[in-house]
Structure 1
Amino acid sequence: SIKSTTVTNVAMIVSLVPVVLIWAGVRRFAEPVSLKLLALVATALAGTALVLFGSASVPTWSLRGDGLAVLALLFFSAQMALAKEARQKVGALEFQAVAWIVAMVVVTPPAVLTGGGLSLPDATAWLWVAALVAVPGSGHLLMNWAHKHVRITVSSMALLGAPPLTMVLAAIFLDEPIKIAQVAGGVIVIAALTGVIRRDLQITARYSTGIG
Structure 2
Amino acid sequence: MNKPIIHPYIPIAIGVLTVGLSAIFVKLTTADAGVIAFYRMFFSVVIMLPFFLHSYRKELYRLSKRDWLLSSIAGIFLAIHFILWFESLNYTSVASSTVLVTLQPIFALTGTALFFKEIISGKMLTAVIVALTGSIIISWGDFRVSGAALFGDVLALLACGFITAYLLVGQDVRKRVSLVTYTFLVYLVSSIALFLYVITIQQPLFSYPASDWGWFLALALLPNLLGHTLFNWAIKWVSTNVISITILFEPVVASIAAYYILQESISVSQMIGGIVILTGILLFVLDFKAIKKKLFLKKA
Q: TM-score, normalised by structure 2?
A: 0.64
Greater Cα shift, 110-119 or 73-82: 110-119
Q: Bigger CA drift: 66-75 or 117-126? A: 117-126
AA partner of residue 43 (structure 1): V
**Match for 1:33: what amino acid?**
I
Extract unaligned runs of 5+ from structure 2.
1-87
Instruction: Check the 8 A contact 2:174/2:235 in 1, yes or no.
Output: yes
1:102, distance to aligned residue in structure 2 (A) = 1.0
C-alpha separation in 2, matches of 1:112 and 1:92? 30
Picking from 113, 128, 137, the partner of 1:50 is: 137
Q: Does 1:164 align with 2:248?
A: no
Alignment-derived partner of residue 144 in structure 1: 232
1:46-67 deviations in Å (ceiling 9; x for gaps) = 222222322236x9x8111111
Are 1:109 and 2:196 an aligned pair?
yes
Deviation at 1:211, TM superposition (A): 5.0
Q: Distance in 2 between matches of 1:182 and 1:115?
A: 39
Seen in structure 2, the aligned counterparts of structure 1 residues 128 and 153 have a Cα distance that, compared at 3 Å, is same
- The Cα shift of 1:164 comes to 0.8
Partner of residue 126, structure 1: 213
Give the CA deviation at 1:207. Answer: 4.8
Are 2:297 and 1:178 aligned?
no
1:121 positional shift: 5.1
Say which of 16, 19, 28 aligns to 2:115.
28
Determine the structure 2 residue equivalent to 1:187.
275
1:71 is aligned with what amino acid? L
> Within the alignment, does 1:73 sit opposite 2:152 as a pair?
no
Identity %: 26
Partner in structure 2 of residue 97 of structure 1: 184
Contact 2:138 2:251 in 1 (8 A): no
Aligned residues: CA RMSD: 2.3
Q: Deviation string for 1:25-64 (max 9, x for gaps)? A: 122112111000111111122222222322236x9x8111
Q: Aligned pair count?
A: 210
1:144 deviates by: 0.7
Asked whether the equivalents of residues 43 and 189 of structure 1 are also in contact (C-alpha less than 8 Å), the reply is: yes
Write out per-residue CA displacement over residues 107-161 of structure 1, whole angstroms, 9 at most, x where no aligned residue.
Answer: 1133245464332555543332222122111111111111111012212111111
Q: Name the SS of the counterpart of 1:175 in structure 2.
A: coil
The match for 1:203 is 291
**AA of the residue aligned to 1:53:** W
What runs of 5+ residues in structure 1 fail to find an aligned partner?
none
Describe the SS at the equivalent of 1:118.
coil
8 Å Cα contact 1:4/1:64 also seen in 2: yes
Cα distance in 2 for residues equivalent to 1:186 and 1:114: 39
Distance change >3 Å, CA 211–CA 79, structure 1 → 2: same
